[in-house]
């Protein structure tokens, strides 16, 4: 084989490897270019900020979901846990008369406690994470309705601040950046992050290597619940109230964002940066379809097809890896 042929083959492999690792980012850029051509309103500063605000709640939920999926689990309860966290925080402030900071902390801890409960059921109760978190989805939504009696509850000023602005920058975008940096640090720079990849890659091998698999799973789900609680604070801050039916269906968007971002539902693979890109893809699609006056019914069809495509690509990628 000549040197030129080898160089051409290497270049082809490099492009293929680049697309495999950054397919979601390339897709996002192509999507933005197409929408820029289709509608002049897409790339306006106001619309870009709107996309950032819309992406903040989904991305923060998806950061927590990334931990769970990397550890080869799934968390179907994050939307309901976000709603319960926001409602508990609002009730602590409005009904119990507690300090706003205490109410904010109480909401976050509620999310972490719900996640830890799912983790305990998965790790020590031997329930599949699908079943444990499906039960938590129902429990958390039911408790949200019980606490609120089905009515919106006013939030503390400290929570409402999360829906405001920090200078010219919307606070949800600031929270999104900080949460993303913290999540990336946890996943890439800490022992618990390495344990997540090990447990998701091969649970039995991780156990034989001395990794406390059960404790890792409890921590992973607790982190997912904590990020869900933060997403609930963001959502109620934007609405200036906690809504009993908030975040319905958000768990599917969170899972889709993680998978579109390149994580494998089989575990052991996933990046926070990819999850952020996946969340942006979902929000940009919805934003673009709104600008093009496509009905919300067809938007659901398009989002469903995108999720199916992302999962299909994940399945093909795993087949190519095993062969």
Contact 60, 210 (CB under 8 A): no
Any idea what the CATH number is for the domain that residue 113 is in?
1.10.3470
List of long-range contacts for 97-106, beta carbons under 8 Å, 24+ apart? 100/156, 100/157, 100/158, 100/159, 101/156, 101/158, 103/155, 103/156, 103/158, 103/159, 104/156, 104/158, 104/159, 104/233
Across the range 86-109, mean pLDDT stands at: 95
Across the range 223-247, mean pLDDT stands at: 94
Q: Give the domain extent around 103.
A: 42-314
Give me the torsion for CA of 177, 178, 181, 186, rounded to 10°: -140
- Domain count for the chain: 1
Give the residue, 319 or 309, on which the prediction is more confident.
309
| 2 domain residue, yes or no | no
| 27 domain residue, yes or no | no
How much is the pLDDT for 249? 87
Q: Which residues contact 56 (CB under 8 A, 6 or more apart)?
A: 172, 173, 175, 176, 234
Which residue is listed with tokens 């799973």? Answer: 217
pTM above 0.85? yes
- Tokens matching residue 174: 């600031």
Cα distance between residue 56 and residue 86, in whole Å: 16
How much is the pLDDT for 8? 60
Name the least confident of 48-57, 140-149, 288-297: 288-297
| 7 domain residue, yes or no | no
Average pLDDT across the chain, whole number:
90
| 37 domain residue, yes or no | no
How much is the pLDDT for 302? 86
């Amino acid at each position: 084989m000549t040197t030129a042929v080898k160089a051409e083959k290497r270049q082809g492999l490099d492009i293929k490897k680049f697309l495999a690792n950054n397919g979601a980012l390339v897709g996002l850029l192509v999507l933005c270019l197409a929408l820029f051509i289709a509608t002049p309103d897409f790339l306006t500063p106001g619309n870009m900020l709107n996309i950032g605000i819309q992406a903040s709640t989904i991305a923060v939920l998806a950061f927590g979901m990334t931990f769970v999926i990397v550890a080869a689990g799934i968390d179907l309860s994050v939307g309901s846990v976000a709603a319960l966290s926001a409602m508990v925080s609002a009730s602590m402030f409005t009904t119990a008369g507690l300090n706003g900071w205490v109410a904010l902390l109480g909401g976050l801890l509620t999310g972490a406690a719900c996640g830890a409960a799912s983790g305990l059921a998965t790790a020590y109760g031997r329930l599949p994470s699908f079943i444990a978190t499906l039960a938590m989805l129902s429990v958390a939504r039911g408790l949200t309705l019980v606490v609120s009696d089905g009515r919106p509850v006013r939030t503390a000023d400290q929570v409402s601040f999360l829906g405001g602005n920090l200078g010219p920058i919307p606070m949800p975008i600031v929270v999104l950046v900080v949460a993303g940096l913290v999540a990336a640090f946890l996943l890439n720079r800490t022992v618990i992050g390495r344990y997540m990849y090990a447990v998701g890659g091969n649970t039995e091998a991780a156990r034989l290597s001395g990794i406390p698999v059960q404790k890792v799973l409890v921590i992973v789900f607790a982190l997912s619940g904590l990020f869900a609680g933060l997403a609930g604070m963001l959502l109620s801050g934007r609405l200036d109230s906690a809504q009993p039916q908030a975040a319905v269906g958000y768990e599917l968007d969170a899972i889709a964002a993680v998978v579109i971002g390149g994580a494998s539902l089989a575990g052991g693979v996933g990046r926070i940066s990819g999850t952020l890109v996946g969340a942006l893809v979902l929000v940009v699609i919805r934003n673009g379809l709104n600008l093009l006056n496509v009905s919300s019914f067809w938007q659901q069809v398009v989002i469903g097809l995108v999720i199916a495509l992302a999962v299909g690509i994940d399945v093909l990628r795993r087949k190519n890896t095993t062969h």
